[in-house]
Structure formats: C-alpha cells, structure tokens
C-alpha cells in the first residue's frame, strides 16, 4: 500500500471506524484514541497490507484495539475497587482499634490485665491464674 492509498483509506474509512468504535465504547475520547492507534498500526504495516483488504484489516485492528482498551479499563477499575476496598478495611480496622481501646480503658486494671494476657499474649487461663495469683475460675469470669 502506498502513502497515497493509505491516505485514501483514512479519508474513506475513518468515519466508519470511529462510529463503530464509539458505538461500542460509548466514550468519544477513548474511541478517538482507539481509531488513531488502529490507523497508526495500519501505517506501520502498510507494506504488507493489500489495498483490497485494507478495510477489513483496519476494522479488525480497530476491534482488537478496542478489546485491549476495554480490558485495560476493566483492570484499572478492579485496581480502583481494590484500593477503595483496602481503604475501607483500613478505616474499619482503625475504628475497631479505637473502639477496643475505649472498651479496655473502661475496665479495671485487673480486668484489663486479664484480657491482655489472654487475648493479646495468648496465655491459658491456668497460666494467667499463676501470673496474677488468682484461681482458674476467677480468671474465666
């Protein structure tokens, strides 16, 4: 395909390719990018493309570029969702820590120590009883 034939393809098919892509993407700016990319690829491969097959070649390229674009957008959307979910979890964790700390602060020193030894340090009721000089049933209450 010569430069002149390429320019004829641009003139002849640009609007049709754009309408096809924008109809599927529903976003004009993205459609322009996809069409531009398709024409760039046609230009780079013009020596291997026959003029008779240029239209189907161009639409195939544009379609594949559109699919690639949709995959990229979907990946970015999933990353954004993950980031938002991570922020939400972090906020919930922060709130939970704050609530837990407030609850611990309302306990007596002995009760707080029991909770810390059991839940944070992982001691058994028997071990906590020995540490705090209490019997096991007192520790459980």
Q: What's the mean pLDDT when you consider all of the chain?
A: 85
Count structural domains, the chain: 2
Secondary structure of the chain in the HEC alphabet? CCHHHHHHHHHHHHHHHHHHHHHHHCCHHHHHHHHHHHHHHHHHCCCCCCHHHHHHHHHHHHHHHHHHHHHHHHHHHHHHHHHHHHHHHHHHHHHHHHHHHHHHHHCCHHHHHHHHHHHHCCCCHHHHHHHHCCCHHHHHC
Report the candidate in 116, 82, 84 with the shortest Cα–Cα distance to residue 100: 116
User: Is the domain of 112 the same as that of 55?
Assistant: no
Q: What pLDDT, on a 0 to 100 scale, did the predictor assign at position 41?
A: 92
User: Is the domain of 74 the same as that of 134?
Assistant: no
User: Is the domain of 15 the same as that of 43?
Assistant: yes
User: Is the domain of 83 the same as that of 117?
Assistant: no
Q: What pLDDT, on a 0 to 100 scale, did the predictor assign at position 107?
A: 87
Handedness of CA 92, 98, 104, 107 (dihedral sign): negative
Cβ atoms 44, 3 nearer than 8 A: no
User: Is the domain of 123 the same as that of 87?
Assistant: no
Q: What pLDDT, on a 0 to 100 scale, did the predictor assign at position 27?
A: 78
Query: How confident is the model over 46-93, as pLDDT tens digits?
Result: 888 888 888 888 888 899 998 888 888 777 666 666 777 777 778 888
User: Is the domain of 44 the same as that of 87?
Assistant: yes
Question: Which of 3-7, 62-66, 115-119 has the lowest average pLDDT?
Answer: 115-119
User: Is the domain of 63 the same as that of 125?
Assistant: no
Tokens 């529903």, residue located: 26
Q: What pLDDT, on a 0 to 100 scale, did the predictor assign at position 40?
A: 92
User: Is the domain of 7 the same as that of 72?
Assistant: yes
User: Is the domain of 67 the same as that of 127?
Assistant: no
Q: Say which CATH number the domain at 87 has.
A: 1.10.1740.10
Average pLDDT over residues 131-141: 83
Residue 117 lies in domain: 107-141
User: Is the domain of 61 the same as that of 120?
Assistant: no
In the chain, the percentage of residues whose pLDDT exceeds 70 is 93
User: Is the domain of 27 the same as that of 53?
Assistant: yes
Whole-prediction pTM value?
A: 0.52
- Tell whether the model's pLDDT for residue 106 goes beyond 80: yes
């Amino acid at each position: 395909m010569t430069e002149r034939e390429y320019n004829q393809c641009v003139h002849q098919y640009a609007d049709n390719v754009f309408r096809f892509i924008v109809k599927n993407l529903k976003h004009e700016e993205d459609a322009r990018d996809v069409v531009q990319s398709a024409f760039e690829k046609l230009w780079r491969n013009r020596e291997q493309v026959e003029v008779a097959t240029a239209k189907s070649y161009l639409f195939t390229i544009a379609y594949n570029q559109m699919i690639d674009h949709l995959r990229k957008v979907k990946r970015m959307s999933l990353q954004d969702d993950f980031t938002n979910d991570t922020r939400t979890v972090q906020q919930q964790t922060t709130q939970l820590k704050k609530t837990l700390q407030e609850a611990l602060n309302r306990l007596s020193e002995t009760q707080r120590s029991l909770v810390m030894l059991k839940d944070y340090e992982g001691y058994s009721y028997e071990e906590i009883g020995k540490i705090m000089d209490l019997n096991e049933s007192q520790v459980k209450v």
